[in-house]
Every structure is written in C-alpha cells, then in structure tokens.
Amino acid sequence: MDKQQMIESIRSGMPERRWQHVQGVISTAIVLAKRFGADPDKAELAAILHDLAKYWPVDRMEEAIREEGADLGILSYDKELWHAPAGAYISRRDYGVTDIEVLDSVRYHTSGRAGMTLLDKVVCLADYMEPGRDFPGVDGIRELAETDLDAALRAGFDSTIRFLLEKGKVIYPLTLAARNDLIRNP
C-alpha cells in the first residue's frame, strides 16, 4: 500500500473534523521534528497513523488489543486510551508499517511513557498543540514549543493530569511516569 492509499483508508475511517485534526498533527509534527532533530518522514507517518482507531467501536479496539496481547493492562483504564495501542497494532497488521520507532510513537501518543524517544515526544506534543486545538493553556504550550520540547510536553501532561483530577477520573500510571521522567531527566 502506498502513502496515498494509506491516507485515503485512514481518512475514510473518521469524520471530516477528525481528519482536519490529523492534518494539523501532520504539519505540526514535521515542524517540531525539524526544530528538535527528529526524523520528519517518521514524524509524518506516525501523525498520519496516530488516531486511525479513534472512532472504532470500543469492542473493535478491545479485540485488536487482545489479539496483539501486548498491552492488556490498558483495558482496565479509560477507553479514551485504547485507540493508541490499537492504532499501533493495526498500523503493523493492516498498513504494513514495521518501523518500531514509528509504531511506538503511535502506541504512546496518548499516554506517554517513561523514557520517551525524541519521536514519541514530537508526535505527542504535535497532538497537543496542532492549530485546531483549543484548551486552557494551549498557547503557553505553543510558546514553550518554540524552544523547549520537554517543557512544552510536560505542560501538556500537566494539563491532562489536571483535567483528569478535576473530573475525578483514574490516571493511567504511564502518564504519571512520563511526567515524572521529564522532570527527573531534563
């Protein structure tokens, strides 16, 4: 499958509004990759793939996660997290992507993880700050992203954690690990 076919297939699996978001993540991820020294082609590919399972029925996401068998623990956390590992698995199974760096940056784009690679950080931050995003603090994140990848990403996780606290929701441990690691290992 060539890139255009992949794009058409992914685009057809989501509402137009979400595709606009994906396009924002693609352009932002390329800019951030160039700015901070990640591979722009890998950043683009990961951005194209990152939300491919976002609009899947919950059962279908769960089935993909169980079929892969790598990350069953996530099934006891918020369903909003599931599209990331499901998307990584389907990227390999159905779209033939084999680059582990790309697959991991899709897998961890929502939760983050300790020891995030440069590509993980670029994709995750692009997802937070693409031009269509509008949440309290997003402009501060964009400003930090001009110069400081880790500080911008940390502000992103802080905002997610704050949101989850305010909503009284469970926090996925990898998100805390991601934030702690950005503080401990500047």
Residues in contact with Fe ion by CB under 5 A are 51, 110, 127
Least distance in Å: CB of 2 to ligand DGI? 25
Q: CA dihedral defined by 163, 79, 142, 32, rounded to 10 degrees?
A: 160
Sign of CA dihedral 104, 109, 114, 115: positive
Strand, coil or helix: 179: helix
Least distance in Å: CB of 54 to Fe ion? 6
Least distance in Å: CB of 83 to Fe ion? 6
Q: Which is nearer to Fe ion, 28 or 110 (CB)?
A: 110
184 class by beta-carbon count within 10 Å (0-12 exposed, 13-18 middle, 19+ buried): exposed
Instruction: List the structure tokens of 160.
Output: 């997610």
Least distance in Å: CB of 84 to ligand DGI? 6
Least distance in Å: CB of 73 to ligand DGI? 12
Q: Which is nearer to ligand DGI, 54 or 121 (CB)?
A: 54
164 binds, among ligand DGI, Fe ion, none (CB under 5 to 8 A by kind): ligand DGI
91 binds, among Fe ion, ligand DGI, none (CB under 5 to 8 A by kind): none
Q: CB within 8 A of 130, min separation 6: which ones?
A: 21, 24, 25, 27, 28
Distance CA 6, CA 95 (A): 7
Q: Tokens 């961890």, residue? A: 108
Tell me the one-letter amino acid at 162: R
Q: Which is nearer to Fe ion, 23 or 117 (CB)?
A: 23
Q: Which is nearer to Fe ion, 2 or 134 (CB)?
A: 134
Chain positions contacting ligand DGI, by CB under 6 A: 51, 54, 78, 80-81, 84, 109-111, 127, 160, 164, 171-172, 175
Q: CA dihedral defined by 103, 108, 110, 111, rounded to 10 degrees?
A: 170
List phi, psi (to 5°) of 81: -80, -20
139 binds, among Fe ion, ligand DGI, none (CB under 5 to 8 A by kind): none
Q: Which is nearer to Fe ion, 75 or 184 (CB)?
A: 75
